Amino acid sequence: MKVLGVVVEYNPFHNGHLYHLKKAKELINPDFTVAVMSGNFVQRGEPAIIDKFSRAEIALEMGIDIVFELPFLYSIQDANGFAFGSIGLLDRTNVVTDVVFGSESADIKTLNIIAETLYKQPEDYQILLKKYLKKGYSFPNARKYALIDYFETKKLLDKDEILIIEKSNDILGLEYLIALKKLNSKIIPHTIRRKGSNYNDENFSGNFSSATAIRKLWKEKKYDLIKASVPSKTFEIIKREEQLGKAPIFIEDFEISFLSYLRTLSRDNLKKYYGVNEGLDQRIIEAAKHTNTIKELYHNIKSKRFTYTRIKRTLLNIYFGITNELIENINNTGPQYLRVLGFTEKGRELLSVMRNRVEYPIITTPSNYISIIKNIERDLKNKRKMWSIDKKTYFKMIEYDFKATNVYSLYYKNKEYSKYELDKKMKIIYRKGKV
Amino acid sequence: MKVLGVVVEYNPFHNGHLYHLKKAKELINPDFTVAVMSGNFVQRGEPAIIDKFSRAEIALEMGIDIVFELPFLYSIQDANGFAFGSIGLLDRTNVVTDVVFGSESADIKTLNIIAETLYKQPEDYQILLKKYLKKGYSFPNARKYALIDYFETKKLLDKDEILIIEKSNDILGLEYLIALKKLNSKIIPHTIRRKGSNYNDENFSGNFSSATAIRKLWKEKKYDLIKASVPSKTFEIIKREEQLGKAPIFIEDFEISFLSYLRTLSRDNLKKYYGVNEGLDQRIIEAAKHTNTIKELYHNIKSKRFTYTRIKRTLLNIYFGITNELIENINNTGPQYLRVLGFTEKGRELLSVMRNRVEYPIITTPSNYISIIKNIERDLKNKRKMWSIDKKTYFKMIEYDFKATNVYSLYYKNKEYSKYELDKKMKIIYRKGKV
């Protein structure tokens, strides 16, 4: 049995995603395809434009058999943490055999050689890394120069080959490979060349608009142009959610809440939050006091040392009170559950196979999250089944998923949907019939 | 030289305030009158309807010679902390000779006897208090019954006399008296009977509407009725501030910011904040998840044990990260500076008298708050002048004043005024000429 796993955000699902999924399936020819998808907040440190329930619904229509939710605490981390969480989750399904990821280079052999070095951290490499860090280079640059020197000495790779680690998808791909090694996973990684516009391209470019471009079109209410860039199911759900008053959601909707809260903080409170270091605390405190828009806030915090996404993610960490300690812990334990947002009729078969294999709970009814643990404890006591769960981390992790949804839902224009804990109220999405 | 001190909120200044001020002056016949006034947040746990700068401006027109700002950390505390901060500030002017406060009973003799007991906490009383607390009474009720029993035994006061501690102004008055004792102050306390409608009366009642009633009228834009209840200067400034887009400010304006932030919190994070105990933590967390309006939030947290104002103040403590430790500290040290919001030509004379007498800095230019401390340290080193300041508390206290203003200003409708730290940018209000 071949099971293809993909790591996605689908924010929103567009023609490029469909192309990638089709190519991945052609490459693997899987019996099943599953996705691990970010929830209501995404890796660029922003709320998703449309909520996770709707995005899962679309994914199931487009050929994914099971959509797992990447726990919130991984979804807003840098490439390293994001990859560890998502690959960890796919690994813990105990059914995924292959992962396919988009890549600018599509050069898996080179990526694997670099990943091996970054995973094993040989002493020669560490010395070089320290040297470049001491010279004042940012971590990504120090790493790059250290790798160039290291491989030049070893005569393994030349400079041009190493420079693939400058492209966003290759960087993420590299982290997927490192995560697979760290997890000692049996999953086989594959790459396919990315098609369509660049991730950060804000300009519309025909049928293969980026998710960024599509979000911009939605903000500008250019529905015809969105329609041309997304599968009809995406368009249908976009329209439906907008009519319900649940989408689109933009970071600007959080503007006054974020700024107001930041203005209550002191510099000495900030360092405990993940990502706040190297003087970022002062930049954040000062910027918040002197601006009244979120874009200006980012701009005023920005410096050479900090990328925009780093800043945006860090602000989310502060807002949600996500500490260094917590992230260090979860980047050690990995995901503690497999939360299913939705599945197809075919996906249901796979879920029943999984049930006999997993060492972490499959969560289909999140409101049962406490009784799930009680059952696991009973199993462990009776030695009925092997579970690898860390109870304390499990609770922290899932409660953060709930928090993320509870905060997100407050920003729906239709406040009727803001009155409940949607994670506990929404039924799991089940798509009947063949896709 | 006689200097009258009053403790006020003036939220907003109305005919009842004017009446009180006139009566107080008749009683004392002072050379100067100063007020300690809440800043941008008031004791009922809400933002002031109009900012502290405008409220100070009105007060100077209405017969106050100097307006001091009650530090934010005292302004949102219960009667005990509020009284300790405000009386402490008046005491530290080292010029105030008399304070006058409104009182339902106007029975200063009885209030003083009770205050003496509550200050000295004789053993007999403590035993009675513990007894009633053990029986499950709330603190105010246990205190009341203990006092009744205690004075009955001593044959000092009868039950009816003690019941004066059930009225809001008498309760506050009692705390003023206790604070005076605690501070070993030479200030002489006086009471005058409260005139006009009850503090909590939401209904309009002619020329003596309560501040609550006037805020309600403002919300409903019933300007004619406001005009009848406030001095013309108040009305003029109300209109001016509204036109500038700086008023009115309601707690509802903070709704999404408060709810959103509360939804990020966990129960175990909350107990460190002042006022969060006796199960209030769980009530807050649960209520925040299931409501989308602030009024409903209060309502859902409400129980017999907690009053609305207690809940509202506690929510502000949580939002601003005000810990038990911090409040315990400042309720021990008292105010560390005398921040002047404004003064009249006459007030200026008094300020120059004060300068030679105070042991805590008079702050007229808050942006100098760091250099003020440097000068004090120089004085202390050279033994040039005696200062009683606690540096660490000084910084905490004034930085909280700045935070309160920075948060408040974000909610001005005209966002132009939200871009700066107004405490550092606004010039002190100086009112020339005779009032």
Structure ipTM = 0.94
Mean pLDDT of A182-208: 73
CA distance B364 to chain A (A): 21
Task: Determine the average pLDDT of the residues in B279-302.
Answer: 96
Name the pLDDT band for B421 (thresholds 50, 70, 90). very high
Q: Which residues of B are annotated as a binding site for ATP?
A: 7-20, 102, 169, 194
Lowest mean pLDDT among A37-46, A131-140, B325-334, B382-391: A131-140
Average pLDDT over residues A402-418: 97
B261–A261 CB contact, under 8 Å:
yes
Is pLDDT of B73 > 80?
yes
State mean pLDDT over B11-20. 95
Question: Nearest-CA residue of chain B relative to A297?
Answer: B419
CA distance A85 to chain B (A): 21
What phi and psi, each to the nearest 5 degrees, are found at residue B199? -45, -40
Quickly state the pLDDT bin for A176 (edges 50, 70, 90).
Answer: very high
Residue A203 pLDDT > 90:
no
Alpha-carbon distances, residue A399 vs A419, B263, B265, B276 (angstroms): 17, 11, 10, 21
Q: Which residues of B touch A261 (CB under 8 A)?
A: 257, 261, 319
Give the residue ranges of the annotated binding site of A. Answer: 7-20, 102, 169, 194
d(CA A178, CA B133): 61
pLDDT of residue A140: 83
- Note the pLDDT tens digit of each residue in B354-377: 999 999 999 999 999 999 999 999
Nearest to B260 among A257, A419, A420 (CB): A257
Interface subset of B 263-302, CB within 8 angstroms of A = 263-266, 269, 289-292
- Residue B412 contacts A, CB cutoff 8 Å: no
- Percentage above 70 pLDDT, chain B: 97
Concatenated DSSP letters of B178-231: HHHHHTT--PEEEEEE--SS-TT--S--GGG--HHHHHHHHHTT-HHHHHHHS-
**Mean pLDDT, rounded, of chain A:** 94
In the structure, what pLDDT confidence band is assigned to residue B197 with cuts at 50, 70 and 90? very low
Bridge partners, A429 (sequence order): A342
pLDDT tens column, B216-229: 999 999 999 999 99
- Judge whether residue B192 has pLDDT over 90: yes
Residue B199 scores a pLDDT above 80: no
pLDDT in tens, A291-307: 999 999 999 999 877 88
Q: How confident is the model at residue A136 (pLDDT cuts 50, 70, 90)?
A: confident
Minimal Cβ distance to B257: which of A256, A266, A269: A256
Position A250 confidence tier, pLDDT thresholds 50, 70, 90: very high
- Whether residue B393 contacts residue B88, with contact meaning beta carbons closer than 8 Å, is answered with no
Residue A318 has pLDDT above 90, yes or no: yes
Residue A336 clears pLDDT 70, i.e. is over it? yes
Asked if the Cβ–Cβ distance from A403 to B263 is below 8 Å, we say yes
Residue of B nearest to A405 (CA): B263
The residue-averaged pLDDT of A383-392 equals 94
Q: Are B421 and A321 in contact (CB < 8 Å)?
A: no
User: For A287, which residue in chain B has the nearest alpha carbon?
Assistant: B419
**A254 interfacial to chain B (CB closer than 8 Å):** yes
Q: Whose structure tokens read 């910027």?
A: A287
Where are the domains positioned within chain A? 109-166, 251-330
Helices (H), A3-134: 15-28, 52-61, 72-75, 79-92, 108-120, 123-134
Q: What's the average model confidence in pLDDT over B99-127? A: 94
Q: Which of B263, B418, B421 is opposite residue A410, by nearest beta carbon?
A: B263
Mutation target to probe the B interface, by most B beta carbons within 10 A, among A284, A316, A406 is A406
Residue of B nearest to A411 (CA): B256
Average pLDDT for A246-257: 98
Indicate which of B251, B257, B405 best probes the interface with A, i.e. most A CBs within 10 Å of its own CB. B257
Where residue A206 falls among pLDDT bands split at 50, 70, 90?
Answer: low
Which of A292, A319, A414 to substitute to test the interface with B, most B CBs within 10 Å?
A: A292
Q: What is the 3-state secondary structure (H, E, C) of A236-270?
A: HHHHHHHHHCCCCCCHHHHHHHHHHHHCCCCHHHH
CB neighbours of residue B282 within 10 Å: 11
Q: Which of A93, A111, A105 lies closest to A7, judged by CA?
A: A93
- d(C-alpha A270, C-alpha A272), whole Å: 5
Identify how many contiguous H helices and E strands chain B contains and give both numbers.
Answer: 22, 10
What's the mean pLDDT in B195-223? 75
Percent of chain B with pLDDT over 90: 85
- CB contacts of A421 in chain B (<8 Å) are 289-290
Average confidence (pLDDT) over B152-158: 87
Average pLDDT over residues B178-196: 91
- pLDDT band of B203, cuts 50, 70, 90: very low
Is residue B207 predicted with pLDDT exceeding 90?
A: no
Cis preceding-peptide flag for B248 (omega within 30 of 0) = yes
Q: Is A290 in contact with B254 (Cβ distance < 8 A)?
A: no
Token output for B204: 């309009």
For residues A151-167, average pLDDT: 87
**In chain A, pLDDT over 90 holds for what percent of residues?**
85
CB contact under 8 A, B263 and A321: no
Q: Does B414 touch chain A (CB under 8 A)?
A: no
For β-strands A41-42 and A46-47, DSSP reports them as antiparallel
pLDDT higher than threshold 70 for residue B3: yes
Q: Is B415 on the interface with A (CB under 8 A)?
A: yes
- Is the pLDDT at A205 greater than 60, yes or no? no
Would the pLDDT of B425 be above 80?
yes
Q: Read off the pLDDT of each residue in B107-120 and give the average, rounded to a whole number.
A: 94
Closest-CA residue to B115 (of B48, B152, B168, B165): B165
Q: What is the pLDDT of residues B229-286, one digit of tens each?
A: 999 999 999 999 999 999 999 999 999 999 999 999 999 889 999 999 878 999 999 9
What's the mean pLDDT in A196-209?
A: 54
Question: Which pLDDT score is estimated for B195?
Answer: 57
Specify the pLDDT at position A138.
78
Residues A290 and A304: beta-carbon distance below 8 Å: no
pLDDT at A197 over 80: no
The shortest CB-CB distance from A320 to any of B257, B264, B420 is to B264
Q: Do B320 and A266 touch (CB under 8 A)?
A: no
Considering only CB atoms, which chain B residues are within 8 Å of A269? 321
Q: How many residues in total does chain A contain?
A: 435
